Structure 1
Amino acid sequence: MQYWIDLFISQFKETTWLQWVAVVFGVAEVLLARANKIWLYPAGLVATTISVYLLVDVQLFAEALLNVYYIVMSVYGWIYWVRKRDQPPVPVSYSTRNEWSTTLAIVFGGWLVLYLALKHFTPSTVPVWDAWVSSTAWAGMWLLARRKIENWILLNISNLFAVPLLFHKQLPLFALLTIILFVVAIFGYFDWKRSERETGIKIQESGQEPETSLL
């Protein structure tokens, strides 16, 4: 434990101002998302744009690509929010067997493709780890887009492996932000489970047939 504390302190002292800006806006994005405020999107755009530059600089190419995707989705989400903000959200639910099959294909197929690309076409020193962090995050985001409860599990698998990787690449503030996201995802998982249960109760009370899950 003392080793990790000393490592964090030493890396913290060497943190650049760009890391500070990216993390401050990253935290702002999380807080704004929790408060359901549209300003989460511009905050996220600032954080992810800077993150792409910083991650490429330390040769975490798969994570940089992941943040490019975040940029695209932030723009899409911002536009979608403005157009659809008065409509009711899609209810959360558990993944079906088909959705789990797709999820596992994204995780392992994505990992293999990213690993081979990193190993043969980039100077990455951590192709296995970098590819795994990104492929599990891609799968989590796919489930998140479909409002599936298990998205939090996949995102936290990604977060769990990302923390030591970010420390290894001397990005301590990014590691700290990832730890915060890990905790947020735990609360998100239980919040979504409660939401799904409440929706099921309402469906039963209304006499409607609930959707069948193949899980």
Structure 2
Amino acid sequence: MGWQVFLAARDIDRGTTAVRELTRAGLRAEFVPMDVTSDESVEKALDLVTTRTRQLDVLVNNAGVGGPSTPPAETPADDLGAVFETNVLGAVRVTNAFLPLLRASPNPRIVMVSSGMGSIATMTDPALAGLVRPTLGYPASKAALNMITSQYARALPDIRINAVDPGYTATDLTGHTGFQTVTEGTDAIVDLAGIESTGPTGGFFDRNGRTPW
């Protein structure tokens, strides 16, 4: 689409490799080191992006970890800290830091990459019973991210802010067991990144449209 992309990653080697591959494909991408669990790292990332541009049109909060896979009754509360630090607090940390650059855009948009596992309606659907083992960390963190999305949208009406369920996609997070390609998994992200100023805000979407909270 011709956009300048700032690709952030905590792993410098993998981040620079990804940007190198994108650049070779003729795309405009620049690597930005960032660990969303660190205030200092996020501020350094903001400083770097600020030297490259005066505005940010779209922020995609995509950082996520899987969390403990133990049954709920066997999961200590302390085991949930890391997943919430990345999946929830990381999104808040990055969003708040980059708001000044977003507000400088004529049509700012934020896309929160959530999950169908954060949907209470989906996870309690009898038709889906038995497909996903009950766990606490990942589903609860994504449900929290959904609520955060709705509250940001209420508080910032001049910014289009939506959550996305990519679906079960073949990525490192799923051990590449997902039945969707990465392109299919990013369809809704790209769509919401490109909406107009009159587009939806405060919603939850997948590649087929609105999806239940």
Higher strand residue share: 2
Structure with more contact order per residue of length (Cα contacts < 8 Å, sep ≥ 6): 1
Report the structure, 1 or 2, having the larger helix content: 1
TM over 0.5, shorter chain: no
Work out which of the two has the higher radius of gyration on C-alpha atoms and give 1 or 2. Answer: 1
TM-score, normalised via structure 1 length = 0.30
